[in-house]
Amino acid sequence: MSPASATACYKCAVIEVDGLMKHYSVHERPPGMAAALRSLFSRPKRLVKAVDGISFRIDAAERVGFLGPNGAGKTTTLKMLSGLLLPTAGRARVAGHVPFERRPEFLSSIMLVAGQKQQLLWDLPPAETFELNRAIYGLSRATFQETLDELVSVLQLEELLQKPVRQLSLGERMKCELAAALLHRPRVLFLDEPTIGLDVTMQAAVRDFIRRYNERHGATVILTSHYMEDVAALCPRVIVIDRGHLVWDGSLGDLVRSIRPEKRITLTLAAPAAPEALAGLGARLVSVDGTQLRLQVPQAELQGVVSSVLSCVTVSDLTVEDPPLEEVLADLFARQSP
């Protein structure tokens, strides 16, 4: 079901995870005053297996998407790999270090950027946070200025550097967060929903920046996102996790072909088609919207169906693409459900 990446380089793995687990003991309390009073003396606990034995390897300079539904264990895994959480069991090595030992050399070589969290100092301009990071990471003035100039240019931060962070928009803040995160040129970049809440233009800009940073500096990028455009644009390889278990590790294309070995054809007709014409297309009709049709057809029958369509109706536009990644993942998770 989940073949390992065929291109794995076992001599240059930057991230090695073996049987990693994180279990939490969570107190539960029903609503109401009586339950609140009872909880003073006795609180029932429940064991949550946020991550329950996952194993994978990621090579240097790879870009890997880390996917899964809410509560699957993605962020928990990233936090263990960045040294924020002590694993319950299992083994992890990142850039040659055990993350939870939290050695300065390890922390200087990684960065976790969470779209919902910030590292910028709220009351001060981003330039102050950049200076603080320069001191914390021990960057020479020359190295710092060179990196900062590059980041300011690529992310277009010139107008933002002197404004207090609290006065920046979400998109502006996110760009500054990325700049702050990359000043020390981390070798491993954990991105936890970096485009959340951003408009489409800013999302595209952030994706483009991440790709260029990876290509230019050879940084390893692990990305979690609920926006499939992020994953499709950035990640040749995906690791899918569901309820703490790894359910897929391989290329995105293989995932799609494995779960939904079909193609989605979108037709724009010159005129609305008669129902009889639609019945003879030889493919499953997904949706009809005026002159726009969506069909689903097995990969092996694609050529025949396209020929049939072109002979049955007058087409002004036609596109062939993989099924939406959201649907592929939804199918995958549905198969995992008990």
Q: In this structure, what token pair is assigned to residue 238?
A: 């995906």
Cβ neighbourhood burial of 84 (10 Å; 0-12, 13-18, 19+): middle
Closer residue to another protein (CB): 124 or 315:
124
CB 141 within 8 A of CB 209: no
Closer residue to another protein (CB): 82 or 203:
82
Least separation in angstroms between residue 123's CB and another protein is 4
- Rounded Cα–Cα distance for residues 114 and 127 (Å): 20
Footprint of another protein (CB under 8 A): 24, 75, 79, 82-86, 102, 104-108, 110-112, 114, 116-119, 121, 123-124, 128-129, 131-132, 136-137, 164, 192
Tell me the CB-side half-sphere exposure of residue 161, using CA atoms within 13 A: 13
Least separation in angstroms between residue 268's CB and another protein is 42
Closer residue to another protein (CB): 176 or 273:
176
Closer residue to another protein (CB): 78 or 267:
78
Closer residue to another protein (CB): 50 or 231:
50
Least separation in angstroms between residue 14's CB and another protein is 18
- Rounded Cα–Cα distance for residues 272 and 252 (Å): 35
- Rounded Cα–Cα distance for residues 108 and 133 (Å): 11
Least separation in angstroms between residue 79's CB and another protein is 5
Least separation in angstroms between residue 224's CB and another protein is 11
Least separation in angstroms between residue 322's CB and another protein is 31
Closer residue to another protein (CB): 168 or 295:
168
What residue ranges in 79-135 does DSSP mark as E strands? 89-94, 110-114
Q: Which of 248, 327, 337 lies closest to 54 in space, CA to CA?
A: 248
Least separation in angstroms between residue 86's CB and another protein is 5
Q: CA gyration radius for the chain?
A: 24
Closer residue to another protein (CB): 107 or 288:
107
- Rounded Cα–Cα distance for residues 59 and 95 (Å): 10
Q: 128: how many CB neighbours lie within 10 A of its CB?
A: 16
